[in-house]
Amino acid sequence: MRLSSSPRFEQFGSVRIHQVQRVVELDAGRGRTSSSSSSCGTVAVGRHDLSAVESRMAVVVLCMNEQSHTVESVLSGIPHDCFVVLVSNTRRAPSDGYEAEVAHLLRHCADTGRRAVAIHQKDAGAARALREAGAGQLLDPDGLVRDGKGEAMFVGLALAAWAGCEYVGFVDADNYVPGAVLEYCKAFAAGLHLAGGGAGDAMVRVAWGSKPKARGGRLLFDRRGRCSRVVNEWLNRLLQELSGYGTECIATGNAGEHAMTMSLAKKLRLAGGFAVEPFELIYLLQGLEDGPTTDKAVGGGGEARLAPVHIRQIETRNPHLHDDKGDDHVSGMRCQALNMLYHSHITPPSMKTALREWMVAEKMLEAGEEPPRERVYPAMEDVDLEVLSRVLSEASETMVVSVQPPLPHEGCCCWS
């Protein structure tokens, strides 16, 4: 994969946010990774370097009530060497959609010699394992894992950590273009390689180039959803509050497709629902802590406590063509980011006031109302993965592990 080079970045404490890079070639040929001093303004990441990341990366596929045809198509787009973690919240009655998904996954693994694991978000054994491992906050009053995207990501991340993967990426299962899934995974690998290949903490966030919508009998390609624009604008405003300089550097506030080093993933605290992706950025800006004080917060202090966290943003080429689940509704929920921003201790009072007024004007709040607080879960490093693993294997009712006999060119090394 070849990307436009990204010589510019902005640094906030230990967080280094790189300017968006565009995908220039999906397949950069058989050459090696080009030196960054290349004069043509692009950088190619060679196949060997992509493979080195892919073979250590779990790709968590988040699944809810998709057509099984779509799930199969997404699987075909994930590079073979990645370890697949399917987390499903698909309904199980009257017909068992999860069972169909697992059947497709196992068929795919048998056909390809690939390794994968699947689990249902409402698995009672998984809930028990999470509770005993120290992540009881994930559970609802019925004692099962709550609904929500952040909650599904937490479960997927736990399985990826348990399997010993060094990188973890997230893709949605409702994608109609397997070539886009492949591009996301290659962008993850390219960005993680460029960010240091495992040395230090890094995250890659995808900004898709366009989103086709059927309007008036034809296809139009939108650049960015309205909520994405709003969330990016407010996040950039926060950066200006931190540094004093106006910026547009965040273009991936709501990035569903993103990946990171496991070392970073273990430190992050994930938020619930659709607040999860923007909150990763807010949490990093808070200085990898969620305490109420700001004296350790990042943003200009000379104290070099932490190795830099590289955030790479990559604009992909393929249209993001996904299941239309009623965009207005989802779009509103995706703006949960603003609630997180409002309640962050690094957001200055004047910005909180402006944000609340804006939300009232946009009818996202009643006048005088406070934005609701979203849930924030413990970091994976505070979860006892040994307990999680033991209880899961004893008690899980839905977990399915596909461990194929190694094929001549079996490459995944992350399953121990």
For the bound state, the minimum distance from the C-beta of residue 323 to a copy of itself, rounded and expressed in Å, comes to: 9
Beta carbons of 58 and 165 less than 8 angstroms apart? yes
Label residue 367 exposed, middle or buried (CB < 10 Å: 0-12, 13-18, 19+).
exposed
Of the CA atoms within 13 Å of residue 165, those in its CB half-sphere come to 34
For the bound state, the minimum distance from the C-beta of residue 187 to a copy of itself, rounded and expressed in Å, comes to: 12
Site for a copy of itself in 112-151 (CB under 8 A): 112-114
Site for a copy of itself in 270-329 (CB under 8 A): 317-319, 321, 324
Label residue 320 exposed, middle or buried (CB < 10 Å: 0-12, 13-18, 19+).
buried
In the bound state with a copy of itself, the residue whose beta carbon lies nearer, of 125 and 179, is: 179
Beta carbons of 346 and 286 less than 8 angstroms apart? yes
Contact flag: residue 407 with a copy of itself (CB under 8 A): yes
Contact flag: residue 7 with a copy of itself (CB under 8 A): no
Beta carbons of 4 and 21 less than 8 angstroms apart? yes
- Residues with Cβ within 8 Å of 80's Cβ and at least 6 positions away in sequence, in order, are 112, 114, 411
DSSP string, 70-130: HHHHHHHHS-TTSEEEEEE----SSS-HHHHHHHHHHHHHHHHT--EEEEETT-HHHHHHH
Answer for which of 108, 115, 122, 149 binds a copy of itself (CB under 8 A) is 108
Answer for which of 11, 29, 103, 394 binds a copy of itself (CB under 8 A) is 29
For the bound state, the minimum distance from the C-beta of residue 379 to a copy of itself, rounded and expressed in Å, comes to: 32
Contact flag: residue 363 with a copy of itself (CB under 8 A): no
Beta carbons of 278 and 284 less than 8 angstroms apart? no
Distance separating alpha carbons of residues 153 and 138, to the nearest angstrom: 11
Contact flag: residue 221 with a copy of itself (CB under 8 A): yes
For the bound state, the minimum distance from the C-beta of residue 205 to a copy of itself, rounded and expressed in Å, comes to: 19
In the bound state with a copy of itself, the residue whose beta carbon lies nearer, of 55 and 286, is: 55
Contact flag: residue 193 with a copy of itself (CB under 8 A): no
Contact flag: residue 222 with a copy of itself (CB under 8 A): no
In the bound state with a copy of itself, the residue whose beta carbon lies nearer, of 29 and 301, is: 29
Answer for which of 183, 257, 315, 374 binds a copy of itself (CB under 8 A) is 183
Among 43, 13, 89, 5, which residue's Cα sits nearest to residue 297? 13
Among 108, 90, 111, 112, which residue's Cα sits nearest to residue 99? 90
Total site size for a copy of itself, rule CB under 8 A: 61
Contact flag: residue 6 with a copy of itself (CB under 8 A): no
Distance separating alpha carbons of residues 138 and 270, to the nearest angstrom: 10
Residue 224: which H helix or E strand, with range?
Answer: none
Site for a copy of itself in 49-78 (CB under 8 A): 51, 54-55, 73, 76-77
Among 326, 354, 327, which residue's Cα sits nearest to residue 338? 354
For the bound state, the minimum distance from the C-beta of residue 400 to a copy of itself, rounded and expressed in Å, comes to: 18
Under the rule (CB under 8 A), what is the footprint of a copy of itself?
2, 4, 23-32, 34-35, 38, 40-42, 44, 46-48, 51, 54-55, 73, 76-77, 79-81, 108, 110-114, 176-180, 182-183, 212, 214-215, 217-219, 221, 317-319, 321, 324, 407-411
